[in-house]
A and B are shown apart, each in its own frame.
Chain A
């Protein structure tokens, strides 16, 4: 199973990255002390420096508003105080002046889940076709899609927005007429935009993996009369689960953490805008409300951090594989 990792575009990383992550499982490697005393001190300093900013914000998010804005968080022992009010405020309060993050949290989820599933399905189908259906021009087409990875999404934003306004908007209005509960400004443009931008990388990565499935397996099924559809669902998808998982996690986090696509395609209202957009807005308009900002930032960090600590192995793989996206 450990050989079934997604084929990373980085030589040497594939095996060793996995090794490094599962190092706990096989502690045969001899542990020695850090190379030298200086090295130990330097690494400790770096580790502390890298953790301190997040830690400071985390501590502050639990301090009462009065204390956050008058004393540094490092004086918490002299100025003790603990409260959950900041979180209650940003998540649950319905007053106009509060961030009302509950709605945006739902939006982030509602954007990220379909925007992960759609490109995953579409890309794995295309990857299967490129790998296992012979047709003229297959190679050239695949190279074209591979090359599309170099197009920064900035290059597509303006015309895409114009197209959405001209073509998608009437459809959204019609849907709103049909089901009033769905606002005219809905998730559709954001989903489509994320799906499009994810495809080149997704097709490339999944193709690398799917094309390495032993040909005999697929040919045997074909000879037995299975259609491409059956082969795809019954054989290819189950075998490609590790690659799918790596890409799914990468894409989910990419969408969750995205700001640019949201700013342009969401419209910025409570109906659609994700957490990142709301946070950016808050720092712009209420940049000194630290009791709100600290808690709000952590609300947005919770999901990525859970993914990070629980699925670190897939997370690293997905991140490495997709590091050039965007």
Chain B
């Protein structure tokens, strides 16, 4: 990077921010001086128009266009449901769908289970804050960064050489042969899932921990007086008390999992039968030039996310009403 490049970048950022505030300031100045008649109307337009225009042009219209694109082939000709037929008949595409299902079953359940267990175990313990920070930290890390961290763990050296990947070293310590983890189907998909679980557990833990602290202490104490053991208290007091948060956590992680892209992209690029819908959508639309297929995959993704989101929103609304 030369100094001129850097200068160009700084000019871009400063210039854009300056232009942005100038436009906002100028319009604000003008609408305050707009003719009295209809001034409220102008002010409303100023406040709301930028968002509406951006959303209309950048989200609503493209979503409709994508829905149409899904029924065309790579040269833009109408092909009806061919792209969807492709998706549900071609072995490679079926693997993608199957993998996505495995992801969306395993990640939310395992991440939530570990997160919940951890939250219960460290609840009110000494150093709880630090325990939390350690598990929550992966949440701050980008999926790409996490991909590199775990590729390093799964790294492979030919048997006989010193291993530099922790997983293979453990295998060797136990007398096994090192494995090319990321190239070996089907275990590679599960190893990628581990990365997502590693990231999402912290999220589950933080929310569930907060929910556990929200359970009235009287309930817990009453259960203690009744002579219940820890497990009984957990199933009869804690679990019912955090049901709402539990649902939110599971649905939220499911949504994130359905859209997972970066992890697969960074670690295997979808090769060796590890692809998932979001990755395949990118590959088809922006690498293979098959925009119709990409659009069809995007629509399937949308249809998979839709019921979960609606359910999530309904739970949230109900909780809000109770509050």
Which of A's residues lie within 8 Å of B, judged by CB? 9-13, 15-17, 19-20, 23-24, 29-36, 39-40, 42-43, 46-47, 50-54, 56-57, 60, 68-75, 100, 102-103, 106-107, 110, 113-114, 117-118, 121-123, 125-126, 128-130, 133, 135, 141, 145, 148-152, 154-161, 163, 179, 181-183, 186-188, 191-193, 195-197, 199-200, 203, 227-230, 232-233, 253, 256-260, 263-264, 270-271, 276, 279-280, 283-284, 287, 290, 293-294, 296-297, 300-301, 304-305, 307-309, 312, 315-316, 319-320, 323-324, 326
- Lowest 4 CB-CB distances: which A-B pairs, in order? A257-B142, A11-B319, A196-B58, A159-B62
Closest to B287 in A: A263
Are A304 and B131 also in contact (CB < 8 A) when A12-B210, A158-B291 are? no
Q: What distance in Å separates the Cβ of A137 from its nearest Cβ neighbour in chain B?
A: 11
A158, B51: Cβ atoms under 8 Å? Answer: no
Given A157-B285, A196-B55, A199-B51, A11 contacting B323 (CB threshold 8 A): yes
In whole Å, how far is A70's beta carbon from the nearest beta carbon of chain B?
6
What does the 1/0 interface line of B181-210 toward A look like (CB < 8 Å)?
000000000000000001001110011011
Whether B211 pairs with A13 at a CB distance below 8 angstroms is yes
> Please, what's the 1-or-0 string for B122-161, where 1 marks a CB less than 8 Å from any CB in chain A?
1111101101111111111111110111111101000001
User: Which among A24, A56, A163, A200 is the interface contact of B152 at CB below 8 angstroms?
Assistant: A56
Would you call B166 and A148 a contact (CB within 8 A)?
no
Contact A69 B164 (CB under 8 A): yes
Query: Range of interface residues on chain B?
Result: 35 or more
Closest to A180 in B: B8
**Is B73 in the interface zone, CB < 8 Å from A?**
no
A107 to B12, CA, bound (A): 11
Bound together, the chains give a CA A290 to CA B170 distance in angstroms of 20
Which of A151, A163, A229, A294 is the one whose CB lies under 8 Å from B31? A229
Q: Within 8 Å of chain A (Cβ to Cβ): is B248?
A: yes
CB distance from B9 to the nearest CB of A (A): 5
Are B245's CB and A50's CB within 8 A? no
Interface pairs (20), CB distance under 8 Å:
A13-B211, A20-B209, A33-B125, A50-B138, A103-B1, A113-B13, A121-B24, A123-B51, A125-B50, A126-B50, A145-B55, A152-B302, A159-B66, A161-B286, A197-B59, A229-B31, A257-B143, A259-B265, A305-B137, A308-B140
B64 → chain A closest CB, angstroms: 8
* Contact (Cβ within 8 A) B153 A227: no
B144 with A300: CB separation less than 8 A: yes
A141 to B122, CA, bound (A): 44
B131 lies within 8 A of A16 (CB): no
* A11, A159, A228, A316: the one within 8 Å of B206 (CB): A316
**A191–B28 alpha-carbon span in the complex (Å):** 23
Partner of B17, one of A72, A114, A280: A114
- Check A228–B47 contact: CB distance below 8 A: yes
A19 nearest CB across to chain B (Å): 7
Contacts of B155 in A (CB 8 A): 290
Binding site for A on B (CB under 8 A): 1, 4-13, 16-17, 20, 24, 28, 31-32, 39-40, 43-44, 46-48, 50-52, 54-55, 57-63, 65-66, 69, 114, 117-118, 120-126, 128-129, 131-145, 147-153, 155, 161-166, 169, 198, 201-203, 206-207, 209-211, 213-214, 230, 244-245, 248, 252, 255-256, 259, 261-262, 265-267, 269, 278, 281-282, 285-286, 291, 294-295, 297-299, 301-302, 305-306, 309-310, 312, 316, 319-320, 322-323
Q: Establish whether residues B44 and A199, one from each chain, have CB atoms under 8 Å apart when the complex forms.
A: no
- Whether B144 contacts A60 by the Cβ 8 Å rule is no
Question: Bound complex: CA of A12 vs CA of B241, how far in Å?
Answer: 11
